[in-house]
Amino acid sequence: MKKTIFTFTLLIAVITNAQQTLLTPDNIDEVIKELTLEEKARLLVGRYDNGKGVPGAAGVIQDIERFGLPPVALTDGPAGVRIAPTRPGDTATYYATGFPIGTALACTWNTDLVEEIGAAIGNEVLEYGCDVLLAPGINIHRSPLCGRDFEYFSEDPVLAGNIAAAYVNGVQSNGVGTSVKHFAVNSQETNRFEVDEVVSQRALREIYLKPFQIALSKSNPWTIMSSYNRLNGTWTQSSRELLTDILRDEWGYDGLIMTDWTDGRPSAERVYAGNSLLMPGYAEQETDIIESVRNGSLSMEDVDRQVRHVLDLILKTPHYKGYSFSNKPDLKAHAALTRSAAPEGMVLLENRDSALPIVNPGKVALFGRTSYDFMAGGLGSGDVNKAYIVNLSDGLTNAGFQVDGRLKNYYEAQRNLREKTKEIAGEWSADFEPVLSDRNIARLAEDNDVAVITFGRQAGEWADRHIDNDFNISNDERALLERVTEAFHALGKKVIVVLNTGGVMETASWKHIPDAILLAWQPGQEAGNAVADVISGVAFPSGKLSMTFPLTVSDVPANNNFPTGSGSDFGDARRNHDYTLHDEDIYVGYRYFTSFDKPVSYPFGYGLSYTEFEYGKPVVRATRDGFEASIDVKNTGNAPGKEVVQLYVGAPAGEMEKPVFELKGFAKTAALQPGESQTLRFVVNSMDLASFNEDSSQWQTEAGNYRLMFGASANDIRATASFNQKKPLTKTVGNVLQPNRQLNRLTRK
Ligand code: BGC
């Protein structure tokens, strides 16, 4: 009897004790002590869907009730929240707003705007009951053929890093988290789980890690996602050098590191490397962690270190704080935001004789199948389930244009036919462009005031892009453009091309044909309205390219070392499949084209406007840590507009070879009316002028005269100045992540 009472009392004590150990910010150590090994493993291994997350979201961190640890819901981005729009047995809908793709955001060069969009996306994360948004993606645009470039920002680390920080700050202003991904060098989709990206330490530091480093210095993302690929021989997820030596110890990151959604890799080594959360997570991985601790191959300290990051994160989440979400974010307000923001990322590539804007909307012949099937965003985990996409045909109609009905019917009939016979909507390949007879085109030219032709391109996760009928325009598209232009020009009427793409396209061979080319990107769910706003002059385009448009794909320095369907040798390990050599080294994007004096179709930073800008004389002032520069920009044209000024810096000749110049700062004016001007300011730290010297594992800023170039693009420098760095500066870091294969590094020597 006595024994029963004792056991009963003990049981009560255990229960009471358990109830008292609910996690609070002050008792993390205690909770870690009390968690069993099984519970710790449970925290380190997520689930794709255990019924406790948000339907259609990407995953959850598992809950542990006795410590008051709620499930934590992770959902994809970056163009908005990706959850299921409907739920079984529920008549409500859960559509999220489709915002412009990452590339379009970067082309705004407007960190305030990106922060505002981030804040709206974060609000949807919160109100749909999620805790962490798996975005932004900030991998470098190494090749225009990467299938996921549309999610990523730029070929330049300074632009990508600053846009990322703005995005993170915006989303997290709602008290929800972000995951900056994919760390690192996830620059191709082909064989993405296995491919070994072989990169020099210098290119790694200066190009591929830099955007992450900048983003972390200007924002505090709750999480970072380690990528799928290998880097210099080791999976990034298993690389302690990358995740612990660099990210944690060198950069001081103390948030949570989660793996990208990977199956079947050793768990213990990934926890040891620095991941706190294995996603999407399987029961066997928990067992693996438990057994590894028991057999001594993983230490409890390593487990506890990562568990602490999970607990730290949980404490910040809306779920932990008991936020009562509405499932009703203000979708109308967000739709208005996406519409007004999209033109800021659209790039006006050509505008002969002020073909745009068309201020008196008239009759428009709208060509190209994509005009009637406009694409708001890309495919894969970055695809948002939005309630609608405004087609260009509807957008132009809303703007007061009369869209030719016969042509509209023709394209819609072609689509229906195509859907029935071959492909599904939205996934038509570019080699199919319905062919119209010359007679029909001539009649359309007679009956309409202007022609608009849309060329569309879709891409996404899993696959890299093709060269033919994808990067290059197809024969059908070229024929359409030529024949329509001939017919309309014969009657003195203009032809506008709209590019509805997530990635770069070849333009050099055809850009002289139409009167204007508007690169609209994939501008979010209000696409058609936003494009029509720009065409009609209700809004003006103010985007500039965040990447170079080369003359041909073979001009891209990475081209020989990127999966293009050719160039792979089928030996034991296939080049560009099992391993990819970054022979172009630091010469990515404009760093290559400008340093090697290669012509391009449109340079990095390029974009026309409906007006003209004049740059004043720059003023430079040395500061304690570097310099501050300012320049006046004046709208000297006849229409309102915004100008992006890029600050490129050329280093003095020194020990290391360097690109002729590199972007070190940028700024965008507010909307300037004709005659109005604004002073733009740039702050640069001398340490940001450093290059990475592999021989000494040092960042080095050499002393001497630095040339400051204020550009309207990388090929259009409008004003120059200089800055004298009095003393050399160095910072020594760990000699880690050495390449495991021989590289034939591009050099100017
Ligand atoms: C993608 C990530 C994404 C994750 C979760 C992966 O396949 O690479 O970007 O966040 O899936 O959906």
pLDDT in tens, 308-330: 999 999 999 999 999 999 999 99
The closest-lying atom of ligand 1 relative to the alpha carbon of residue 227 is 8
What's the pLDDT score for residue 371?
Answer: 96
Query: Catalytic residue at 260?
Result: yes
What's the pLDDT score for residue 14?
Answer: 45
Cα separation, 101 vs 83, in Å, equals 17
Alpha carbon distances (Å) from 413 to 406, 436, 501, 594: 10, 13, 23, 47
Q: Whose CA is nearest to atom 4 of ligand 1?
A: 261
pLDDT above 90 covers a percentage of the chain that reads 92
Q: Exposed, middle or buried by CB within 10 Å (0-12, 13-18, 19+), for 264?
A: exposed
pLDDT digits (tens, 9 = 90+) for 350-377: 999 999 999 999 999 999 999 999 999 9
| Ligand 1 center–CA 261 separation, angstroms | 6
What's the pLDDT score for residue 416?
Answer: 84
pLDDT digits (tens, 9 = 90+) for 518-552: 999 999 999 999 999 999 999 999 999 999 999 99
Name the pLDDT band for 566 (thresholds 50, 70, 90): very low
Alpha carbon distances (Å) from 116 to 99, 120, 162, 262: 12, 6, 14, 32
With the most atoms of ligand 1 within 8 angstroms of its CB, the residue from 75, 134, 183, 237 to mutate is 134
The closest-lying atom of ligand 1 relative to the alpha carbon of residue 134 is 10
pTM score of the predicted model = 0.96
Sequence-distant (6+) residues with CB within 8 A of 633 are 613, 614, 615, 616, 643, 645, 669, 672, 677, 678, 679, 680
Any ligand 1 atom below 6 A from CB of 256: no
pLDDT digits (tens, 9 = 90+) for 653-696: 998 999 999 999 999 999 999 999 999 999 999 999 999 999 99
Any ligand 1 atom below 6 A from CB of 261: yes
Neighbouring CB atoms inside 10 A of 704's CB total 15
Mean pLDDT over 116-140 rounds to 98
Cα separation, 165 vs 180, in Å, equals 9
Q: Is the pLDDT of residue 639 over 70?
A: yes
Q: Name the active-site residue from 149, 196, 245, 260.
A: 260
What's the pLDDT score for residue 571?
Answer: 53
Cα separation, 598 vs 604, in Å, equals 13
Any ligand 1 atom below 6 A from CB of 383: no
Any ligand 1 atom below 6 A from CB of 364: no
Any ligand 1 atom below 6 A from CB of 381: yes
Q: Whose CA is nearest to atom 3 of ligand 1?
A: 381
Q: Is the pLDDT of residue 18 over 60?
A: no
What's the pLDDT score for residue 387?
Answer: 97
What's the pLDDT score for residue 488?
Answer: 98
The closest-lying atom of ligand 1 relative to the alpha carbon of residue 192 is 8
Mean pLDDT estimate for the chain: 95
What's the pLDDT score for residue 567?
Answer: 42
Q: Is the pLDDT of residue 4 over 50?
A: no
The closest-lying atom of ligand 1 relative to the alpha carbon of residue 186 is 8
What's the pLDDT score for residue 3?
Answer: 41
Q: Whose CA is nearest to atom 9 of ligand 1?
A: 381
Name the pLDDT band for 116 (thresholds 50, 70, 90): very high
What's the pLDDT score for residue 8?
Answer: 40
The tokens describing 617, both together, are 């004389």
- With residue 336 as reference, give the H or E element that holds it: helix 331-345
Q: Is the pLDDT of residue 646 over 70?
A: yes
The closest-lying atom of ligand 1 relative to the alpha carbon of residue 179 is 10
| Ligand 1 center–CA 76 separation, angstroms | 7
Mean pLDDT over 693-712 rounds to 98
Name the pLDDT band for 429 (thresholds 50, 70, 90): low
What's the pLDDT score for residue 475?
Answer: 94
What's the pLDDT score for residue 7?
Answer: 40
Q: Is the pLDDT of residue 275 over 50?
A: yes
With the most atoms of ligand 1 within 8 angstroms of its CB, the residue from 47, 178, 261 to mutate is 261
Q: Whose CA is nearest to atom 8 of ligand 1?
A: 260
Any ligand 1 atom below 6 A from CB of 181: yes
**Does residue 56 contact residue 93 with C-beta atoms inside 8 Å?**
no
Q: Whose CA is nearest to atom 2 of ligand 1?
A: 260
User: Among candidates 651, 633, 622, which has minimal Cα distance to 709?
Assistant: 651
Q: Is 674 helix (H, G, I), strand (E, B) or coil?
A: coil
What's the pLDDT score for residue 264?
Answer: 82
Q: Is the pLDDT of residue 293 over 90?
A: yes
Any ligand 1 atom below 6 A from CB of 260: yes
Q: Which amino acid is at 472?
A: N
The tokens describing 678, both together, are 């604004």
| Ligand 1 center–CA 461 separation, angstroms | 9
Q: Is the pLDDT of residue 72 over 50?
A: yes
Name the pLDDT band for 232 (thresholds 50, 70, 90): very high
Q: Is 181 helix (H, G, I), strand (E, B) or coil?
A: strand
Cα separation, 374 vs 148, in Å, equals 19
What's the pLDDT score for residue 268?
Answer: 97
Label residues 123-154 b or e (16+ Cβ within 10 Å = b). Answer: bbbbbbbbbbbbbbbbbbbbbbbbbbbbbbbb
**Does residue 626 contact residue 686 with C-beta atoms inside 8 Å?**
yes
Q: Whose CA is nearest to atom 11 of ligand 1?
A: 261
